[in-house]
Structure 1
Amino acid sequence: MWRRALLVISTLLITSLFAPQSSAEPVAPSVAPTEFRFFGSGYGHGVGMSQIGARGQALEGKSAAEILTYYYPGTSVTPYPDNQLIRVNIANLITSITMKAVGGVGEIRLFRGDIPLSESPEPFGTYKGDTTALFTNFAGLVVPQLSSPTTKFAAIPGNQSWTLRWDLPTTTIEVTNKTEVNQYKYGQITIKSNANAVTSYLSVTTTLRLHDEYLWGIGEVPSSWPAAALEAQAIAARTYALAKVGRVRAECDCNIYNSTFDQNFVGYSKEIEKIYGIKWKEAVNRTFIDENSALVVTIDGKPISAFYSSSTGGATQNVKDVWGSSITYLQGVPDPWSLDTTINPRFAYWERVVTQKDLATAFGLPDVLTYRIDSRSKTGSIMSITAASTDGKVATLTGEIFRSRTKLPSTWIKDPVDLQLIRERVICDNTRRYAKKFCYE
């Protein structure tokens, strides 16, 4: 029988993470810790524009173009056609969703099927503005159920998809998905029964103009931010969306998601934010060239893949260190604004606790006794991290997968620490392969 490697720790009573290690090395407990504490900086994947960095540069007087060409080296901010329609998923993998008209007194119209926005067939039904529509997925069909304080409705047979349109500029559609409520003013909404290998579900999309109607609903940053930061965000969001309009993804029946899986879109809810909502719309409008084109980040005359995230650990990522591909304009640049607690109070420096269960699940291990950071990028973010269980199993994850599974804010994470800021070590037993990964020469 192979012998178990002897695990030891050096308990360290220090005031900073970089203090000298204690010479005492008591034997580590044989029981896995109940939780692990992580310290780090930044929020998000860190590739491309830093939103906090954009805010910081705007406060220093930089223009939107200067901000964007800083974070996307070698690019230009130029006019580009953006009059395409974009199909945005606003709810997915759900069984039901509720919609009703708010504001105005217009009618709502229901159409069988997935109707292109450019077509105007006869509707299945036209209903008063006080009508509420509940759409439910049943046996691969979408079944509408209508209700109103003034009208009784007959049952409506299911269909594979339905399209909803509404009247009057003052009318908006309020969409309730569980506890999330948003308003949509432009375009139309499609409710479709979708399916994957496991189950059927609803995919709900809105189709609208990218140029203005979509951009007005982007909810990525506070509308109270400086004008140049808002304009930079609008241009980055437009550029990102342009790369998505050419393909409908089957799993969401969409070009783009409304979440941070792509970029956060909240529809008309962004425009009607108290006090500052109009400032975002004005910032978007300032990036227009004419009715069919606007400012876009380009290289060789074509829109780039304009990735961005909230903040970093002091420098943006080289995309190759995160997703494995090499792109000239997605190289790391200094981002000191992200470490400024006055403009990034929540994520300049953060602390999180991950439970034993959650960390073990992230690594796919029965438990986690210890872990170590195997490698870092030039910016200090984790590229590889390995954990060992009490029974000698090990598992290794990339930094980005580790961040995603543990739901930690970023991969800019300090060296392993326990609740008392301990530094872990393992004395190797060369007869056990798993221990070699944890050796310190």
Structure 2
Amino acid sequence: MIVWTAKSGAKVTLTKAPSSFTIKGSGFGHGVGMSQYGARGMATAGKSSTQILQHYYTGAKVTTMSKNADASLKVQLLTGKKSVTVTPRSGRLRVKVGSKTIESGSKVTIERTSSGSVQATVGSKSYSGSKLTLEWQSTRYWKSSSATTVSVSGAQNGATGTYRHGRLEIGQLKSSLNVINVVGLNKEYLPGIAEMPASWQSEVLRSQAIASRTYAYRNLGAVKPACGCNVYDEVASQRFLGWTHENAGDSGPWRKAVAATQTTSGSTVRSARLITYKGGLIDAVYSSSAGSKTHSAAEVWGSAVPYLVSVDGSPPKYASAQNPNASWSVTAKQSDMARAFGLADVRSVAVAKTGSGLVKTVKATSVKGKTASLTGDQLRTKLKLKSASFSVA
């Protein structure tokens, strides 16, 4: 619409909301701590795992520690379900309910009953208790020559998960089953971590192994009330696929990287490499990539952490990282943008950023002049963007 005024003459005013917005950004994930693609580029340039980690965690040191080297970790595999099946392969399992132990060479069904108990059905018989334990052959809990694995229905984002190590503890959480895999942190948990392609360079794989180990060590001790676990098996903690990943045909380099960052005596881990800051374990957070700069913990989560500050995320000389998310672009429909801000429509969007390029606030204005604001992370979640480092046009 063209409006005439005596003072300024003709003035063009946008009175119609655009049909879509173009959002251009960089990076994938929260962008705090180690950038995996940036670390890959540094490894390609000849940097060691220690150099990589000490770049991304400012003032931190990579050290060798013997404490908790053979510790066990509780990993939540599944919750929110009333029923789960556990099936042994190439061997047998046993169910422990109270004082009873029941062996089986076939599928066991576990249910959360209407009376509030956990019930295991083995063959034609059922056994109930407040919780139960499942063990299988050739683990540290049941010595045997049969290399048994168990399949747990729905354990991997609805798909069946396969596990070789430890045991399962099945209890209750919010009126549903809670399935926990108790595993040795170094020898059994880390080989099943699926956070980085095993085809990447050995030094970046070692960096990932040390960061993943440090993250897990920091979560040892008291279990989280929200899950009855030390860590989740997905990206809320770290992606743990168990035997599915450890036994994959291309996972050899990852297993070697884990082994190279710890020392063993027989079957016992005696010491392992970890990241510390002033003698204490760091919170070794990481993400896929962070664009040109990583973000500080203060920018993303509101609290400053001395070793989680903004640094070069993927310097130009490390362009060989081949990061597919160094830059990205998506189109957001008018209806999606309006819904995100809770407005009838969105005429324009103004973005305010921090020094590292993280979007701090996004202010939307409707055709009628009504405004609404979101944080960058809130808009990222609502529109399912790859990161909170973006611009809107």
TM-score by length of 1: 0.77
Residue equivalent to 1:49:
34
Q: Which amino acid aligns with 1:316?
A: T
Counterpart in the other structure of 1:372: 349
Alpha-carbon spacing, 1:373–1:318, altered in 2? closer, same or farther (3 Å): farther
Partner in structure 2 of residue 160 of structure 1: 130
Q: Distance in 2 between matches of 1:86 and 1:393?
A: 51
Q: Is the 8 A contact 1:386 1:395 kept in 2?
A: yes
Aligned to 2:129, what secondary structure does the other structure show?
A: coil
Question: 1:315 aligned to 2:293?
Answer: yes
The count of residues paired between Structure 1 and Structure 2 equals 371
Residue 14 of structure 1 corresponds to which residue in structure 2?
Answer: none
Q: 1:111 aligns with which of 90, 96, 99?
A: 96
Decide whether the 8 Å contact of 1:98 with 1:132 is kept in 2: yes
Structure 1: distance between partners of 2:176 and 2:337: 30
Query: Kindly tell me: are residues 283 and 98 of structure 1, through their superposed partners in 2, closer, same or farther at Cα, counting changes over 3 Å?
Result: same
Residue 55 (structure 2) pairs with residue 70 (structure 1): yes
Give the aligned CA root-mean-square deviation in angstroms. Answer: 2.6
Q: Do the aligned partners of 1:219 and 1:265 also contact (CA within 8 Å) in 2? A: yes
Look up the equivalent residue of 2:14 and give its one-letter code: V
Q: Secondary structure at the match of 1:266?
A: coil
> 1:29-428 maps to which residues of 2 (within 5 A)?
29=16, 35-80=20-65, 81=67, 82-102=69-89, 104=90, 106-112=91-97, 123-128=100-105, 131-139=106-114, 140-146=116-122, 153-168=123-138, 170-177=147-154, 179-195=158-174, 200-274=175-249, 276-290=250-264, 291-336=269-314, 343-356=321-334, 358-363=336-341, 365-389=342-366, 393-414=370-391, 416-417=392-393
Q: Which runs of 4+ in 1 moved over 6 A?
A: 338-341
Cα 1:262–1:362 change in 2 (3 A) is farther
* Residues 1:56 and 1:158: Cα distance change in structure 2 (over 3 Å): same
Q: Which structure 1 segments of 5+ residues have no match?
A: 1-5, 9-22, 114-121, 147-152, 418-441
- Matching residue's letter, 2:225: A
CA separation in 2, counterparts of 1:201 and 1:183? 21
Cα distance in structure 1, aligned partners of 2:277 and 2:180: 31
Q: 1:227 to 1:134 in 2, by over 3 A?
A: same
Aligned counterparts of 2:2 and 2:274: Cα–Cα separation in 1: 55
C-alpha contact 1:41 1:348 (8 A) present in aligned 2: yes
In structure 2, the CA distance between the partners of 1:346 and 1:305, relative to structure 1 (3 Å rule), is same
Aligned-pair CA distance for 1:227: 0.2
Instruction: Give 1:88's aligned amino acid.
Output: V
Provide the secondary structure at the position in 2 that maps to 1:204.
strand
Tell me the distance in 1 between the aligned counterparts of 2:180 and 2:336: 33
Deviation (angstroms), 1:401 = 2.8
Please give the secondary structure, in 2, of the residue aligned with 1:292. Answer: strand
In 1, the alpha carbon distance for the partners of 2:333 and 2:316 equals 27
**SS state at 1:336 partner:** coil
TM-superposed deviation, 1:391: 6.3
**Pairwise CA distance, 1:260:** 0.8
Counterpart of 1:13? none
SS of 2:63's equivalent in the other structure is: strand
Task: Report which of the two has the higher share of strand.
Answer: 2
Kept in 1, the 8 Å contact 2:39–2:52? The answer is: yes
Amino acid at match of 1:184: Y
Q: Which residue of 2 aligns with 1:16?
A: none
**SS at structure 1 position matched to 2:254:** helix
Kindly indicate whether the alpha-carbon contact (under 8 Å) linking 1:141 and 1:161 is maintained by their aligned counterparts in 2: yes
Cα separation, 1, equivalents of 2:348 and 2:110:
47
Provide the C-alpha distance between the structure 2 equivalents of 1:234 and 1:340, rounded to a whole number of angstroms: 21
In structure 2, relative to structure 1, the CA distance for the partners of 1:373 and 1:366 (3 Å cut) is: closer
CA shift for structure 1 position 138? 3.2
CA, structure 1 residues 132+260, in 2 after alignment: closer, same or farther (shift >3 Å)? same
Q: For 2:373, what is the secondary structure of its paired residue?
A: strand
Q: Distance in 1 between matches of 2:297 and 2:353?
A: 14
- Contact 1:99/1:132 (<8 A) preserved: yes
Q: 1:43 to 1:33 in 2, by over 3 A?
A: same
Deviation, 1:155, is: 4.0
Q: d(CA) in 2 for partners of 1:64 and 1:388?
A: 47
For normalisation by structure 2, the TM-score amounts to: 0.86
In 1, are the aligned partners of 2:41 and 2:319 still within 8 Å (CA)?
no
For residues 24 and 349 of structure 1, the distance between their equivalents in structure 2, rounded to whole angstroms, comes to 36
Distance 2:2 2:117 in 1: 57
SS of equivalent to 2:290 = coil
Who is 2:7 aligned against? Answer: none
Residue 157 to residue 301, structure 1, CA distance change in 2 (3 Å): same
- Do the aligned partners of 1:341 and 1:348 also contact (CA within 8 Å) in 2? no
**Whole-Å Cα distance in 2 between the matches of residues 222 and 74 of structure 1?**
28
